[in-house]
Amino acid sequence: MKVGAIIMNIYGISDRAILREIGRRLKRKRLEKNLSQQRLAELAGLNRTTIMDVERGTPFGALTLVQVLRALGALEELNSFLPDPGISPLQLAKMKGKERRRASPQIAAHDEGESDW
């Protein structure tokens, strides 16, 4: 798979490769804004080495991502990344207007050939 190309099968690449792609895209965004790593670090309240690490694809936390996106003026990118799924009208009617707050417990699968009795 070519780096920089549109990733067709995101599940076919490693987590580290995804982080490298995120870092590459953040670097491109920084360069579009004509910001040095040092200036971006100052705007984000981070160290320059943190910006370097992010751009290299070194694992980083969600807070760091938010800080970098905010400093780049790109927080709206989160809507593309993880859009609000909302609640479908059918689901809302089924739940009688209440928003779901918990996941249902998982039912363990029975071993094949084992009786329930």
Task: Summarize pLDDT for 9-56 with one digit per residue, the tens.
Answer: 788 899 999 999 999 999 999 999 999 999 999 999 999 999 999 999
Do 35 and 46 form a contact (C-beta atoms < 8 A)? no
pLDDT in tens, 90-109: 777 777 756 667 777 877 65
Residue 17 belongs to domain spanning: 10-94
47 falls within a domain: yes
Work out how many domains the chain is built from and give that number. Answer: 1
Instruction: Please report whether residue 57 resides in a domain.
Output: yes
Residue 47 and residue 51: Cα distance in Å, rounded?
A: 7
Query: Looking at residue 81, which CATH number applies to its domain?
Result: 1.10.260.40
